[in-house]
Chain A
Amino acid sequence: MSAPRHIRTPLARVLGRGAAKSGTEHFWHQRLTAVANIPLTIAAVIILITLLGRNQAAAAQILGSPAVAIVMLLFILSITVHMRIGMAVIIEDYVQDESAKLTLLMANTFFTIAVGLAAVYGILKLSFGL
């Protein structure tokens, strides 16, 4: 982001940080993962459609195969990073009570990591037959 300096509000200049208490890292990572999400989402949708008519054994075999598993792992990594930032922005925008905001931001991180790891575990289990 290369906004001219004079656009910044006086308060933003004093604090140097927004509601997130950090700089442009979120902005950049949101766009980075957005770009990654495009091909990964298309790939994941194609994988999902391919598996729809199949039974569990066939689905497990395809999902556990190296190429499909790696694409799905990349997909999960990229979307979870993206959605954590997106939800953080929503919380920062609408939750103004400081303690409620911090609590929700923590819950956001916990949820994202938990759901992401659960999905990763599901794929690795199929790949390695744990």
Chain B
Amino acid sequence: MAETRSLEAKSPAERPLSPHLQIYRPMLTMMMSIVHRITGFGLYFGTLLLAWWLLAAASPNGYARFQWFAGSLVGRLILFGYTWALIHHMLGGIRHLIWDTGRGLGPNEREWLVAANLIGSIAITIILWIFVLLTMGGSS
């Protein structure tokens, strides 16, 4: 994460620039790194929903309004996406914590980890939603 801009500004000499994203063939590890950042970005704004829910819980009318939104098609799509982003970012975080220890960085291990991350997040999200929709009888 070295900051090189101020150096560039002083000496615009020709020096080799790092090849950027479009140079590389897309790889799963690269894509999952990007997805980790995007899901984190989404979760950031998703906290507005969390705050709304907690504030709404104090009043019957407010809670009814939140429940109406959460039960609507758009609300459910947002909550479904939010669930997946949350699970995916959490599993991705665990992956990064494993990598922080220096483990799981071999060619096969890292591919296996990102695949497990992706499959795991989709599976857990679907299982959670099936469970929720079944226990709620499909309607809030």
A residues with a Cβ closer than 8 A to B are 8-9, 11-12, 15, 17-19, 31, 34-35, 37-38, 41, 45, 49, 52-53, 55-57, 59-60, 63, 72, 76, 79-80, 83, 86-87, 90, 96, 115-116, 118-119, 121-123, 125-126
Cβ B54 vs Cβ A119 within 8 A: yes
Q: Which residues of A contact B41 (CB under 8 A)?
A: 86-87, 90
Number of inter-chain CB pairs below 8 Å? 102
Q: Given A41-B90, A119-B47, list of 7 further CB < 8 A pairs? A: A8-B2, A35-B97, A37-B93, A60-B58, A118-B51, A118-B54, A119-B54
> Bound state CA distance, A111 and B136, in angstroms?
34
> Bound state CA distance, A19 and B4, in angstroms?
9
Binds A, one of B22-30, B59-67, B106-114: B59-67
Cβ A63 vs Cβ B90 within 8 A: no
Cβ A56 vs Cβ B57 within 8 A: yes
Kindly list the 5 A-B residue pairs having the minimum CB-CB distance in the complex, ordered from nearest. A122-B54, A56-B63, A122-B55, A119-B51, A118-B51
Cβ B54 vs Cβ A19 within 8 A: no
Which of A34, A56, A60 meets B64, CB within 8 Å?
A56
Q: Which residues of A contact B100 (CB under 8 A)?
A: 31
Cβ B136 vs Cβ A72 within 8 A: no
| Residues A12 and B97 in contact in the complex (CB < 8 Å), given A41-B90, A119-B47 | no
Most chain A CB inside 10 Å of its own CB: which residue of B40, B57, B135:
B57
Cβ A34 vs Cβ B93 within 8 A: yes
Most chain A CB inside 10 Å of its own CB: which residue of B5, B41, B43, B54:
B54
Cβ B59 vs Cβ A56 within 8 A: yes
Which of A19, A34, A49, A56 meets B96, CB within 8 Å?
A34
A14 to B: closest C-beta gap in Å: 9
B101 to A: closest C-beta gap in Å: 11
Closest to A96 in B: B5
Interface residues on B, range: 35 or more
11 CB contacts below 8 A, A to B, read A11-B7, A15-B3, A41-B90, A49-B132, A52-B136, A72-B54, A86-B44, A87-B44, A96-B5, A122-B51, A122-B55
Closest to A122 in B: B54
Closest to B7 in A: A11
Return the CB mask of B85-119 against A: 1 if under 8 Å, else 0: 01000100110110010000000000000000000
B31 contacts the other chain (CB 8 A): no
> Bound state CA distance, A32 and B57, in angstroms?
30
Q: Which residues of B contact A34 (CB under 8 A)?
A: 93, 96-97
